[in-house]
Amino acid sequence: MFRMPEFCEVEMSFQEAWDMMSRRGDGDCLKGMKSMDQLWSDYCASDAEDQDDEFFFYHWGYEFSAYNIVYEGMSELFKEAV
């Protein structure tokens, strides 16, 4: 999950988030999520002096919110039964 400013978070259903990540991955949700990981890695690796995380997440708020929703929803599959 990505820690992003609250004002950048966008509420959407799990299905809307899944669809957004799938579109980003040409029909493959996991591929779409990996592309968001790469986008963040590239941003962090850049040496631009004017990096601004709030601006970055403001610009990519829908996509990173969708990522977080899918990530959180899918994590339920990996929790141990109590």
Q: What is the pLDDT of residues 12-66, one digit of tens each?
A: 999 999 999 999 999 999 999 999 999 999 999 988 777 888 889 999 999 999 9
How many separate domains does the chain show? 1
pLDDT confidence of residue 48 = 74
Q: Domain for residue 57, yes or no?
A: yes
End-to-end CA distance of the chain: 24
What 8-state DSSP symbol labels residue 81? P
Q: Domain for residue 71, yes or no?
A: yes
Q: Domain for residue 12, yes or no?
A: no
Q: Domain for residue 17, yes or no?
A: no
Range of the domain at 47: 34-75
Nearest to 34 by CA among 17, 19, 21: 21
Tell which wins on pLDDT, 15 or 81.
15
**Whole-prediction pTM:** 0.86
pLDDT confidence of residue 82 = 54
pLDDT band at 72 (very low <50, low <70, confident <90, very high): very high
Whole-angstrom distance, CA of residue 16 vs CA of residue 81: 27
